[in-house]
Amino acid sequence: MLSVVPSPITVRAPSKVNLHLGVGDLRADGFHDLTTVFQALSLSDDVEIAPAASLAVRVSGEGAADVPTDRTNLVWKAAVRLAHLAGRAPLVEFAIAKGIPVAGGMAGGSADGAAALVGLNELWDLGLTRDELTAVAAELGSDVPFALHGGTALGTGRGERLLPVLSRNSFHWVLALAKGGLSTPAVFAELDRLREHGTPPRLGEPQQLMQALAFGDPKQLAPLLGNDLQAAALSLKPELRRTLRAGVTAGALAGLVSGSGPTCAFLCESEESAVAVAAELAGAGVCRSVRTASGPVPGARVLNSESPG
Ligand code: C5P
């Protein structure tokens, strides 16, 4: 019998920014109930998956030295989980090319986890449906289902329950990458602490923001952007205030901390404006580096899907 070794598969997975991140109270399971509107951005990671003698992870690109290559990496967890479901051994090597900042509040680890699920489903010919993959994604982490889904979506629960949101046009963003990362649990814990000692503002419901997305007008969207975690991220990294001010001074319509930070995301009026804001921000000395991106873009998807034969 002819045995065919499958060719490597490359999957691209997007980063995300939370246009609205409303954080509820701490739950008994250690998570917080969220009401969030995610948008998937073109800043992305590529994950190549190839059959191998043993499970291994290699990482290159943006912040590679800070990414774990052991069982704590979400691609490793995804391989172990899917191999278990399929009744086979997780014999693959992952080569992750990072474009998404590490520990930056843009769900880079979740993007890699989602890429692993999509790629292994294809490499191992598992035939799992989107719903089945989403259920495994939610076990891996709160943001992994959105990295599968992409586009623009309303997230509730831990952020893992998703409904698509109508979004007209592309939006143009500038991302200010910070020196060092922030730990997501530490930022949530800081918000709990701030709430014990005072009343940091809480966002309302995102209805108006969703109308602005359907209308497709960045000027209408800009004043509606909001993130309950921003106060906590600023408390842990006060220098981000300067970054946020500098982006708006440079001509962005609005700026906010992305997710749990410390990346700051600036919404711009057009692609040309984003390029100009990025150039000015890069010269202002308020961040480690600057990227432009647009959204919404699709969720994790195979780039080389030609089938053999
Ligand atoms: O789900 P994920 O592993 O990405 O979450 C990392 C941590 O972030 C959790 O352990 C928790 O401390 C915090 N978190 C939270 N509420 C959420 C999502 C994450 O408190 N909805």
Amino acid 1: pLDDT: 60
Q: Is the pLDDT of residue 308 over 60?
A: no
Q: What interface predicted TM-score (ipTM) does this complex get?
A: 0.97
Q: Are the C-beta atoms of 254 and 222 separated by less than 8 Å?
A: yes
Q: Is the pLDDT of residue 298 over 90?
A: yes
Which atom of ligand 1 is nearest the CA belonging to 188?
A: 20
Q: Is the pLDDT of residue 306 over 80?
A: no
**Residue of the CA atom closest to atom 19 of ligand 1:** 31
Give the residue, out of 158, 183, 195, 227, with the most ligand 1 atoms within 8 A of its beta carbon, to mutate for a pocket test.
Answer: 158
pLDDT digits (tens, 9 = 90+) for 224-278: 999 999 999 999 999 999 999 999 999 999 999 999 999 999 999 999 999 999 9
Which atom of ligand 1 is nearest the CA belonging to 142?
A: 1
pLDDT digits (tens, 9 = 90+) for 181-233: 999 999 999 999 999 999 889 999 999 999 999 999 999 999 999 999 999 99
Measured from the CB, is residue 173 less than 6 Å from ligand 1? no
**Residue of the CA atom closest to atom 3 of ligand 1:** 141
CA of 73 to the centre of ligand 1 (A): 16
Amino acid 309: pLDDT: 34
Instruction: Identify which has the larger pLDDT, 308 or 42.
Output: 42
Which atom of ligand 1 is nearest the CA belonging to 144?
A: 4
**Residue of the CA atom closest to atom 15 of ligand 1:** 31
pLDDT category of residue 291 using cuts at 50, 70 and 90: very high
Q: Is the pLDDT of residue 2 over 70?
A: no
pTM: 0.96
Measured from the CB, is residue 146 less than 6 Å from ligand 1? no
- The rounded percent of the chain whose pLDDT value lies above 90 is 94
Q: Which CA distances in Å does 79 have to 84, 129, 301?
A: 8, 17, 17
Catalytic sites, residue numbers:
16, 143
Measured from the CB, is residue 77 less than 6 Å from ligand 1? no
Give the residue, out of 27, 184, 192, with the most ligand 1 atoms within 8 A of its beta carbon, to mutate for a pocket test.
Answer: 184
Amino acid 4: pLDDT: 73
Measured from the CB, is residue 34 less than 6 Å from ligand 1? yes
Give the residue, out of 31, 143, 195, with the most ligand 1 atoms within 8 A of its beta carbon, to mutate for a pocket test.
Answer: 31
pLDDT digits (tens, 9 = 90+) for 123-139: 999 999 999 999 999 99
CA of 264 to the centre of ligand 1 (A): 20
Report the 3 state secondary structure along the chain. CCCCCCCCEEEEEEEEEEEEEEEEEECCCCCEEEEEEEEEEEEEEEEEEEECCCCEEEEEECCHHHCCCCCCCHHHHHHHHHHHHHCCCCCEEEEEEECCCCCCCCCHHHHHHHHHHHHHHHHCCCCCCHHHHHHHHHHHCCCHHHHHHECEEEEECCCCEEEECCCCCCEEEEEEECCCCCCHHHHHHHHHHHHHHCCCCCCCCCHHHHHHHHHCCHHHHHHHCEECCHHHHHHHCCCHHHHHHHHHHCCCCEEEECCCCCCEEEEECCHHHHHHHHHHHHHCCCCCEEEEEEECCECCEECCCCCCC
Measured from the CB, is residue 32 less than 6 Å from ligand 1? yes
Measured from the CB, is residue 229 less than 6 Å from ligand 1? no
Average pLDDT, the chain: 96
pLDDT category of residue 305 using cuts at 50, 70 and 90: low
Q: Is the pLDDT of residue 3 over 90?
A: no
